[in-house]
Structure formats: C-alpha cells, structure tokens
Structure 1
C-alpha cells in the first residue's frame, strides 16, 4: 500500500522521542512492500540536528512550517491508500488532523496514530470540541504507542471506530551491543529530555538516588537540564544523538528508565528507551508501572524500583556479573518477542484487515 505519514520528524530525534519508533516500524513496513512517504515540518531546529539523512526505505518530505507548506504537503494525501496523522507534530496539529480527513480519497484508510495516548486522552476528556475528538467518528482507526485495554476502551467511548495498541520495540539494525565507551563510563545513566510531566519523577528516581550515593557517578543525557540544580556526582551530557545511544547504554553499570507521569499512571506503555537498552544488552532499572511483565521479567530481565531509595539499593547490590546476566537475558527476550519486525507485521495485518473490511462494505 502507498502510505502517507504526517509526523513530527523521521530525520531527527531532537526534542522528538518518537523518532526511533517511527523509524523502526516504517523501515519494517517498507520491507514488507509498503511504499512510504513521511511528511515533517521544518520546525524546532530539528533539521539542524538530524540523526539520519533521508533513508532509502521511505521518501522524506520536509515542508515549510507555514500555511502554504502545510497545504502543499496535505495535497499529496489524495495519492495515498493509507493516510496517517501522528500526535504531537508540534505545528498545525489541528489543521493536519482535519486535513487528512478532507484531503484523503474516499477509499483511503485514515488513521490517527497517538504516540502519547495518556496526554491526548487527558486533553480530550475536558474538551468536547478537541480537534482529535471531533475527527474520531470520521477516521477509520486509531493506533497507539501503548496503553493497553484502558486506552482502547477510552478511545472507543470517545467515538473511535477501533483502537489498537502498537507497542515500541527493538530495531535490531540500530540498537545492539557495542564496546564500552569512556565518554559514558559511570554507575547509572538516564536518558530523557526535561519535560514538565517527567521532571518530578526524575527528581524522585534519579537525582535522589544520586544524593543517596555521593561516591557513585550518575550520567544524565537529554535536552533542557542545563539550569537544573543537581548533586555534584551527576554529569550532564546534553542531547545524546541516536547514533550514540548504544554507547550510552554500554557505558554505565546500569541504565534507568523513568516513565512520564501520565504513562506511569496508565501503565502498559514501555518507553522506547526500554527496548533500546535491552537491545544493547544493558542492565535496565525501571520505575514501576503496571504491565511491565508483558515485556520483561522482573529480577531476571529487568530490575524494578518504586522510588529513589529502591534505585540506590539496587545499584548498591548490583555486581558487573549480575548486570551482564540481566542485560543478556533482556536482549534475548526483546529479540524473540519485541522486535520492530514483529510490530510491523502486526500493522501490516491491521491494514490488510481494514482494506478487506472496506471491500466487503463496498
């Protein structure tokens, strides 16, 4: 099928955590024979911070973040069999969700792909006139980054014809074990941009653990942390591009995953970082959230903490030998059950079923 995908950015992960999710799924959809064009606005300095150049497996269209640029990009929707608008593009989100409904062919499959379902649902709950909520009855399908049954049920209550989670996964061509890199040596690493609904949890799980273990070295990667007060044993790295994620995961004794407030409350929403770390055979410590057992087995494939004291205790008890065992077990699990090849096959089946349903209805 010919797929038109309107998202934040395929080429840059700069203030754009969904980039690796897009890449993993779309690369593998292309391998299954789909013809993909990704449309992204020239905004937020992402084109000046590219992690990759336009790939062979997708046509990349960067449009001006202006009404004319938007209209030119949306006009191409009429040539696609499947038209997707992702959440959180950052500019013209209202015009994009309305535009894919208006510009798509009548026989095209239209999809809203929510990469931050908890936040979107929270917004829509208090806004009956929210643009996504208004558009749901006119869309064929909602796909989500995660969330499990609670998200599916809520989207259906709000008017979606169907909602199906498509979880993050491992892109084995991008995330894999590498030798330790001295740039990222330390005891515990955390990689995440500074966001309002994450900062308090970073304080609880990461910075409080650093305060409790002043003799240990903590690494903080991500944008926006430069003016945040921190213990002296925390090394700020700034933005860490995708090309360095394997080295970041290989450097410290363990790496930490911290869900955003909404994702932690919702559960069943593993961050991309979970699979990146596991793919690199890193020993992962994650904050607790419901449903983690669906993805990794606690104590054998991942370590689970409920607060910063737990993080400090786990780190104190962790030996290099046990860290290697946990990282190796996690890598085996994600290769077997959580690869983007499998995620793309799932999307392929969803699209084919939707097309068959269209044919039957016709």
Structure 2
C-alpha cells in the first residue's frame, strides 16, 4: 500500500447521482467526499438504471469521477473493471442493483500485490442473516477472499459473524454527518408538523414504521405528521399524515429543520443486531432537529438518550414524547445532538478511520468542523 500520498480508489456502488430508491447515496457522498478532501482520487462506477437516470439530482462532483455504465449486458462493466485494474483499492459495495453476484466474483480478479479489494456491506445484518439462513449462498465462499469487509454498522456481532464466515478482517464504518450538507436552516411553513419521518418503503422496515410512526399518528389525531420517501403512496395511513413522496436532497435539510420533532426508525435486521445508526439519524442531528429514535442496542455510542435524543420502545412512547416535549426541550435536544455529531461523528472522522483500516498513512488530523 502506498504511503505519504493519496490512494487511487475504484468504487463500484449503486449511485452518487441519484437517491431514488438508493438509501446509500448520503453515505456514499459523505465518505467519498471526505476521502477526496484528504487527497485520495476516487472513480465511482454506477449502473445506468432507468429510474435513477430519470431522478438524477447531483451535479458533477469535483470530488469523484463518476462513470455510468450500460446495464443491457456486462460489456460496459467489463470495461470498467479493466480501467479499475491497478488501483490501490477496489471497493465492491453491496446493493449495486444489477449484476451484483457477478460483480462480487469479478472484482476479486483485480487483487494483486499492489491492489487490495474490499467488500463494503451497507446492509450487514441483513446480509449475515441471509448467509446464515442459506449456507449455499454464492457470496459465502467469497467472504474469505476479500482483503477486508467494511460495514455501515452492526458492531461486534457483525464483526464476529463475518469472522466466523472466514473474513480476514471486518470493520464497521458508521454513518455520520456532512456539516456542509446538513446544518440548521430557517424553517419553512410547508414542512411544519409535530413529527416527520423520511425513509424509503422497504419490506424489512414497513412493520416498524407502522408500529412507531403510524401508530403515533393514530394516537394523536389532532397533530400533523409528515411522511417522506419513495414507495409509500399506496400505503393506508391516518388522515393526519401527509405524504410527500420522494423528497429531493436539497429539501430534506429544510424538512428536518422545520419539523418540531423527527423520527428515525431502524430496519428489522439493524434493530436486532444493534449498533446500526442510519444516515438519516445523523442528517437530522446535523440539521439541529429534535430527534426521536426507536430503541436499539448501542444508541448511546452516538447520541446520549435523554440529552441528545429521545428513545422510544413503541408508537405509544413516540406519541408521549411528541405530546410532552416543551419548546425548550425541543431546542435543547436539537442543539445538544448537533454539538455531539460535529465533535465526534462527521464523515471527516470516518475518512481518517478508513485510511487507518486500509493501512494508509494519511494527511493531517480531522480539522475543527464549522458550527461546533
């Protein structure tokens, strides 16, 4: 591994340009932008999926070169693999959206004395439950062949589970906040509500959203609730819940900063494994929102319950928090969460960790973030 100057990183992921049905976009952008700021050169390879093509939101990013390849066959992807050969680090992320199993195998052909190949699992609890349930899963035999497994969360249980499957190394690199993207803003009346929830509809999330968000709305019929994210349009909901549909990245900050409280709900597997904070949790804290989260093991590693966020066991406790919070309490919780994430949980912090994991002697320590 080269030291003293930037790495050349080839990253195969879902999309940098569109967050449409792509919950990883915020995480990708935060991590890769912070790595670029530390002198690394990133090429991001993403499939030209029709839905994302129509929902492209990002302008050309100076911090990453984006290569969009056709998906009708694997010829375009073969060219990307050829181009990535010789990079210092090749990353295959989970959930690219097409040709995933094929690509899981092919990136391993790029390993050499100069190139390490990393699998970055953005859904590690879900992946591991699948691997344990299906011993003949094709990915299982590949785990020991990667130089290391990075995960977006899961804590020690995920690390031990991956090592039991033969992983050479496994390190969680948690979500964080990008202070240049998520920060307190002036509220806008169109997003005024007692509680807001923003996340795409997923099979392993829907039941918990019903329990924590829709149940709270049922219990507080006189309060106004906002629901944002792809896929919820045909989902029955209480009359006091207004559905916003897909919320563009530029409006999410305003939505979180305007809502009196913001709810974060974990997917089933993430809640079972713990230590899996979603990107939306940090985005809300970065916006200075008063955050209510469902209960999961490890939350105190990121935010202190009762001082920097509120933790609810079910929809009844969510409703009680919405009803009982004073205006002073709302402000204090939001300010405290904002201070905490700027001090400890920015993508600049995560980029330093990634450098260390990759064995790279990087640049200077994390600079003091603005607004802290």
Q: TM-score range by the shorter chain?
A: over 0.9
Matches within 5 A, 1:1-362: 1-65=7-71, 66-352=73-359
Q: Match of 1:298, SS?
A: coil
| Runs of 5+ unmatched residues, structure 1 | 356-362
1:126 Cα deviation from its structure 2 partner: 2.5
Cα distance change, pair 150–19 in 1 and its aligned pair in 2 (3 A): same
Q: SS at 1:89's partner residue?
A: coil
- Aligned residue for 1:237, secondary structure, equals strand
Give me the whole-angstrom Cα distance separating, in 2, the residues matched to 1:305 and 1:354: 42
| Residue 343 (structure 1) shift | 0.3
Alpha-carbon displacement from aligned partner over 1:162-192 (angstroms, at most 9, x marks no partner):
0000000011111001100122111100001
The normalised TM-score by structure 1 is 0.96
Separation in 1 of the partners of 2:299 and 2:151?
17
Displacement after TM superposition at 1:104 (Å): 4.1
Shift of 1:354: 10
Quote how far apart the aligned CAs of 1:349 are.
1.3
Count of aligned residue pairs for this structure pair: 355
Q: Is the 8 A contact 1:109 1:354 kept in 2?
A: no
Where in structure 2 are there 5+ consecutive unaligned residues? 1-6, 363-372
Runs of 4+ in 1 over 4 A off after TM superposition: none
Give me the TM-score of the superposition, normalised by structure 2: 0.93
What is the aligned-residue RMSD (CA, Å)?
1.3
User: Per-residue displacement from partner, 1:184-216 (whole Å, max 9, x unpaired)?
Assistant: 111100001111111111110000110100000
The alpha-carbon deviation at position 75 of structure 1 amounts to: 1.7
* Cα pair 2:21 2:230 within 8 Å, conserved: yes
Q: Is the 8 A contact 2:110 2:117 kept in 1?
A: no
State the alpha-carbon separation in 2 of the partners of residues 34 and 307 from structure 1. 43
Q: CA contact under 8 A between 1:84 and 1:112: conserved in structure 2?
A: yes
1:9-40 C-alpha deviation (Å, 9 max, x unpaired): 11111101111101111101111111100000
CA distance in 1, matches of 2:59, 2:110: 28
The answer (yes or no) to whether the contact 1:83–1:110 under 8 Å persists in 2 is yes
User: Shift of residue 350 of structure 1?
Assistant: 1.3
Q: Distance in 2 between matches of 1:33 and 1:299?
A: 39
In the TM superposition, residue 138 of structure 1 has moved relative to its aligned partner by 1.4
- Report if the CA contact (8 A) 2:291-2:334 is conserved: yes
Give the whole-Å Cα distance in 1 for the aligned partners of 2:357 and 2:295.
31
Deviation at 1:129, TM superposition (A): 3.3
- Separation in 2 of the partners of 1:172 and 1:193? 23
* Structure with greater helix percent: 1
Shift of 1:322: 1.1
Say whether the 8 Å CA contact 2:305–2:311 is kept in structure 1: yes
User: In the TM superposition, what whole-angstrom CA distance separates every residue of 1:32-72 from its partner, at most 9, and x where no partner exists?
Assistant: 11110000001151122122122001110010112112212
Confirm or deny: 8 A CA contact 1:179 1:247 kept in the other structure: yes
8 A Cα contact 2:86 2:115, kept in partner: no
